[in-house]
Amino acid sequence: MELVFEDASVFKRYVDGIAVLVDEAEFIIDEKGLSLKATDPSQISLVDFYLPRKAFKKFEAGGATKIGVDLNYFNQVMARAKPGDQLELSLSEDKSKLSVVFLGGAKRSFSVPLLDLNTADLPLPRIDFDAEVKVKADALNDSFKDANLISTHIVLSVKAESFVMQANSSKGSLENTYSNKDKSVVSLKSTEDVRAMFPLDYLVSIIKATSSDTEVTLRLKKSAPVEVTYSIGEGRLQYFLAPRIEGD
C-alpha cells in the first residue's frame, strides 16, 4: 500500500475532524479510496469519512486494507506537517506500522504502530429528515460561542423559513435567528417545523475542522439525530449526533 497526498495540511484537517470525537478507529483503503466509520466512546455520535482515490497524487491500495490507529497520536504526528509538505503513507513489511512521511524542506519520516481493532461495519442511521439547512461555518461557530455563555446544550430549530439556535438556563437565554436572506445561509428548506436539543460540546467538536467559509449542511427531524455534513477539498465528513430530550 502506498498513498501520496499533495497537501499534508489538508489531510491534517481530516484527521482533526475525526480525532476530536474518536480515540481509536480503522481506516479502510480499497479501490474506491480511503474511508472510516466510527462512534465516539459514549456512542452519542458517529463520524463517516470518505476521501476518493482521485484526490490522491498516487494511490496504490494493493487490495482492501484495514489500518487501525490511535487517532490522538496520529493527529499529533499529522500536526508536524509544515505548509507545502506532501504526505506519503505506506505500511511496513510486516504490516505492523504505518509509515508517515512529510516531504518539503526535508524528508521527515514517522513510524506509527498499528492497532488490531477488527471493528464491525457500522450502518448509518436511516432518517427521513424534515428540514435541511446549509449555512456557513462561521455562523455556527459564532452561535455556539454565544450559547456556551448560557448552557451546555443548544436547541436547533427550523420554523417560518428561519433557522434558529437557542439556549436557556438560570444564566439567561439566547436566540440567534437566520433567514434565507442572510449571507450566512446558503439554502434552507423544510416540510414542517422542526425543533431538537443537542449537547453543545459535541457540535463544537464536529465543526472543528471547518474554516469560516466552509458550507455546513444540517438535516433535522424531531426526536432524531442531527446529520451534519461538510467537505474539505475532495474529502467529506459526515456526522450523526443523538438528541437530548428537553427537560432531562
Average pLDDT over the chain, rounded to whole? 95
Which residues contact residue 84 at a Cβ distance below 8 angstroms, ignoring those fewer than 6 apart?
7, 104
- Domain 2-113 = CATH 3.70.10.10: yes
- In the chain, CATH 3.70.10.10 covers 2-113, 131-241
pLDDT of residue 156: 98
247 confidence band (pLDDT: 50, 70, 90)? low
The pLDDT of residue 160 is 82
Whether residue 246 has pLDDT greater than 90: no
Residue 248 predicted with pLDDT over 60: no
CA distances from 30 to 33, 50, 64, 235, 237 (A): 6, 11, 4, 15, 18
Mean pLDDT of 27-38: 96
Q: What is the CATH number of domain 131-241?
A: 3.70.10.10
| pLDDT tens digits, 107-153 | 999 999 999 987 878 899 999 999 999 999 999 999 999 999 999 99
pLDDT of residue 230: 98
Predicted local distance difference test score (pLDDT) of residue 125: 93
Closest C-alpha among 96, 61, 81 to residue 14 = 81
Q: Is 52 left (phi over 0), alpha (psi -120 to 50) or beta?
A: beta
Mean local confidence (pLDDT), 51-57: 98
pLDDT digits (tens, 9 = 90+) for 69-109: 999 999 999 999 999 999 999 999 999 999 999 999 899 99
By CB atoms closer than 10 A (0-12, 13-18, 19+), residue 10 is middle
CA-based nearest residue to 122, from 33, 202, 205, 25? 25
b (16+ CB within 10 A) / e for 114-125: beeeeeeeeeee
